[in-house]
Amino acid sequence: MSRPYFILSPCGTSLLTNGTGPDLRKIINLHSNAISEQAVVTASPHDHRLIRDHLAAVERKIAAADVACAKEFSAELNGILSLYDGVIEGRQGDFQQLLCTDTWLGEEAAKLVRQWLTGKGFVADLRRQSDLRTVDVASFQVALSDLVTWCDEVVDGCRKSHRVVFNLTGGFKSIQGFLQTLAQFYADETIYIFETGNELLRLPRLPLQMSADETVRQHLSAFRRLALGLKVEPALIENIPETLLIRSDDQVCLSPWGDLVWAQTKKTLYASEVFSPDVVTELLVLGKDFNKSVAGLKANRILIINERIDDLILFLEKKKTGKAEPHNPASLDFKKLSGSPKPPSTHECDAWADQDAKRLYGHFDEGGRFSLDCLGKHLK
């Protein structure tokens, strides 16, 4: 039995502008980057009334649309329905993931697409991507980096149970190009509507491999700090390609491409060996018996150990500044031990909770550094 689809469809505002007169189209485009409805009301109550009336009219039109009409009204629906050859019966088990800009009109248009899909029995989710607006390049870059993280954490996991399809028929060109690149790593195939407007173009995933692995290996401590949002000394990044970095004043962070490179190479690297934290921070070290306690672990567990070490680095770095809440997610759960059940360890944090449920144990040394003593069983 074939896997159900997970279809990611970026949404634009073509549903609102198709078939409209030049005056209304101009008004819609004028307010296309407004982050909220109130912003449009403030800018022009007259324009807001016209847009509100138009939204109501489009909602009535799309609600009454059959498959053929829906394909004409919406570029996003055209791609989805063309993938089904216009036959949606038996496809309601597929998951429709809509992605819209961080704007009022972008979200309103995507809601109408979702409304049509749910009305036909589909499960449809709408993700309004924070900062995804074309008025500010810096914020737009942040949004793209967030998309990489989301794809890596959510979409990639869906490939185990679904056939992931990126439907790039709709949406804005500024996001389509980036999603086209992401598709080569997170989608099984990408679909477009050919220029004729009714033929589907299907592009399978290519067997690509990141060629930047060696760059990450050579600058691993820098990539680890950048991925954690920590400051990096200039000397550590001077040989990292500029396309992987964003510089703003005296701040440096990974660019969306840098995030993609890190997300793709980290999994392999982190599964190969336990990396020492002392090249990333002066606040955390591995105790003399730690490596012995993790010897023989499977690759997927070594990956988790490295990720948990990163969580612990961020926890200690933020704790040191005192300016923010310590990074202590449920997956880490750093806390003091009750009594002294496992000397010299005074604290514990989670390694993993499934299967044999292990903990990481450690203590603060005389210099104030946290020393990871060992990986061990949960203390009852």
Q: Are 167 and 83 in contact (CB under 8 A)?
A: yes
Please name the amino acid found at residue 156: D
Q: Are 370 and 354 in contact (CB under 8 A)?
A: no
pLDDT band at 205 (very low <50, low <70, confident <90, very high): confident
CATH code given to domain 5-204: 3.40.50.10770
pLDDT band at 354 (very low <50, low <70, confident <90, very high): confident
The tens digit of pLDDT for each residue in 218-241 reads 999 999 999 999 999 888 999 998
The tens digit of pLDDT for each residue in 38-74 reads 999 999 999 999 999 999 999 999 999 999 999 999 9
Distant-in-sequence, close-in-space partners of 243: CB < 8 Å, separation ≥ 6? 255, 257, 258
* pLDDT, average across residues 310-327: 86
Exposed/middle/buried for residue 361 (C-beta within 10 Å: 0-12, 13-18, 19+): buried
More confident of the two residues 196 and 35: 35
Q: What is the Cα gyration radius of the chain?
A: 25
Residue range 282-380 forms a domain whose CATH class is: alpha beta
The pLDDT score that the predictor gives to residue 29 is 94
The pLDDT score that the predictor gives to residue 207 is 64
According to DSSP, residue 4 is labeled P
> According to CATH, where is 3.40.50.10770 located in the chain?
5-204
> According to CATH, where is 3.30.2310.20 located in the chain?
282-380
* pLDDT, average across residues 240-269: 89
* pLDDT, average across residues 250-277: 92
DSSP letters, 106-145, are: HHHHHHHHHHHHHHTT-EEEEEE-TT--TT-HHHHHHHHH
The tens digit of pLDDT for each residue in 320-350 reads 887 667 789 999 999 999 999 999 999 999 9
The pLDDT score that the predictor gives to residue 211 is 66
Mean pLDDT, the chain, integer = 92
**Closest CA relative to residue 358, chosen from 348, 344, 367:** 348
Distant-in-sequence, close-in-space partners of 102: CB < 8 Å, separation ≥ 6? 35, 128, 129, 130, 131, 132, 133, 143
Quickly count: other Cβ atoms within 10 Å of residue 71's Cβ: 20
pLDDT band at 203 (very low <50, low <70, confident <90, very high): confident
The tens digit of pLDDT for each residue in 126-175 reads 999 999 988 888 888 889 999 999 999 999 999 999 999 999 999 988 88
